[in-house]
Structure 1
Amino acid sequence: MNNKEFNVWLKEFGENRLPKWSELPDLELYMDQVTLEIEKNVSFILEKPITKSMINSYVKMQVIDKPEKKKYSKKHLASIIVVSIMKQVFSLDVIKKGINRVFELDNPEIGYDNFVSLFNKEMEILDGKNSISNLTMNEDQLKIAQVVAIRSVIYKEIANKVSEFNN
């Protein structure tokens, strides 16, 4: 992979976005539908596809809520999206604490959309040059933690692609 190919990949990668709450399906989904929806929306950032056993493990470890009658709601889907992204960098114990804070706001829609907005903003500033903006300690600590965590996932994916230069 040469510099031109990498820049093309980086531009294309940077065009990906997570769906906002309003863009998630309103219907309750069965497990197969959930895995398809996750694959459709976050495959660009995942090292490997989300499986049924992974989701069952998230439920068993109480990282996400248990489905009702084997059906997953919009909140479940949002939680699985956040967990699947952050799992690439953080342990499930750390994610469990963080996701509880994201979704303990007035309603899960606000917490999820805040996460998505931060993630998508970071994706927008990928330009192959200097995409690191300054964070000050005057900002909300949850926001700082989320921005740094999101950057970790994004830049880890870039690092994986850069490592291909040697091949």
Structure 2
Amino acid sequence: MDQIQDMIDKLGLNNQITLEEIPQIDLYMDQVIQLFENKFSNSKRNEDEKVLTKTMINNYAKGKLFFPIKNKKYSKEHLILISLIYQLKGVLSINDIKETLFKINEKTSMNQFHLDGFYESYLHVASKNIENFNEDIVAKSIVVKNEIDLLEDPEKEDLQKILMIASLANMSNLYRRAAEKLVDELAIVQKKKEK
């Protein structure tokens, strides 16, 4: 059980850029990258991994994942959207992210939407998700251990890790598929509105 808690602690799950951490002034790209590196550096899998690069930001801009910047500077709203993209990109394709954020981008660029309130709601839900995850992963580890204890094998510890990996990957796929289904539903609604 201690191993599971150690693993959870090392994941850096509570890393989120809060509204208070977002400067009230517009930032240049290098400043945006530095902000994200500082905040998410302990969430990286290894030292070589980059949280955010110029190429990533340029690809997000070219892919229209966020509304156009002005004077080579990124506003508070851009930083919120980039933060959302950072969280979504681990699960969804670039096209799915674009579809997901389309309405928010459209409304924000026309000053018809206050992104701050939406982002606060996201942060609150993410915090609750972490609580649920912590409880769920401990419960899963108990189920996995009980299953492995039924086997007669000298390498039970390795088998326990393998079964836990398979279980977590299975859950991840289920959640990803549910998210993709919701993206598809958003796309259908958007296409109907465009007609």
- TM class by shorter chain equals 0.5 to 0.7
Q: Distance in 1 between matches of 2:64 and 2:118?
A: 18
Query: What SS does the corresponding residue of 2:20 show, helix, strand or coil?
Result: helix
Alpha carbons of structure 1 residues 27 and 130: separation in structure 2 relative to 1, 3 Å: farther
Of 73, 84, 97, the match for 2:99 = 97
Task: Give 1:125-164 correspondences, 5 Å limit.
Answer: 125=132, 126-127=134-135, 128-130=137-139
Name the residue aligned to 1:8: 6
Q: Is the CA contact 2:25–2:76 (under 8 Å) kept in the aligned structure 1?
A: yes
Name the residue aligned to 2:81: 79
Name the residue aligned to 2:27: 29
Larger radius of gyration: 2
Question: Could you tell me the TM-score, scaled by structure 1's length?
Answer: 0.66
Higher relative contact order (CA 8 A, sep 6+): 1
Q: Is the CA contact 2:12–2:42 (under 8 Å) kept in the aligned structure 1?
A: no
Q: Distance in 2 between matches of 1:114 and 1:124?
A: 16
Instruction: After TM superposition, give the deviation of residue 130 of structure 1 in Å.
Output: 4.1
Q: Distance in 2 between matches of 1:73 and 1:119?
A: 23
Q: Is the CA contact 2:15–2:43 (under 8 Å) kept in the aligned structure 1?
A: no
Instruction: After TM superposition, give the deviation of residue 4 of structure 1 in Å.
Output: 3.1
Q: Distance in 2 between matches of 1:70 and 1:109?
A: 22
Of 59, 67, 70, the match for 1:68 = 70
Name the residue aligned to 2:38: 40
Give 5+ residue unaligned stretches, structure 1.
Answer: 132-147, 153-167
Does residue 122 of the first structure (1) align with residue 124 of the second (2)? no
Quick check: 10-19 or 28-37, which moved more? 10-19
Question: Could you tell me the TM-score, scaled by structure 2's length?
Answer: 0.58
Quick check: 87-96 or 104-113, which moved more? 104-113
Instruction: After TM superposition, give the deviation of residue 13 of structure 1 in Å.
Output: 3.1
Q: Distance in 1 between matches of 2:73 and 2:20?
A: 19
Query: What SS does the corresponding residue of 1:98 show, helix, strand or coil?
Result: helix
Q: Distance in 2 between matches of 1:69 and 1:37?
A: 19
Q: Distance in 2 between matches of 1:120 and 1:44?
A: 18
Of 111, 114, 119, the match for 1:107 = 114
Aligned residues: 133
Q: Is the CA contact 1:102–1:111 (under 8 Å) kept in the aligned structure 2?
A: no
Alpha carbons of structure 1 residues 73 and 20: separation in structure 2 relative to 1, 3 Å: same
Structure whose residues are more often helix by fraction: 2
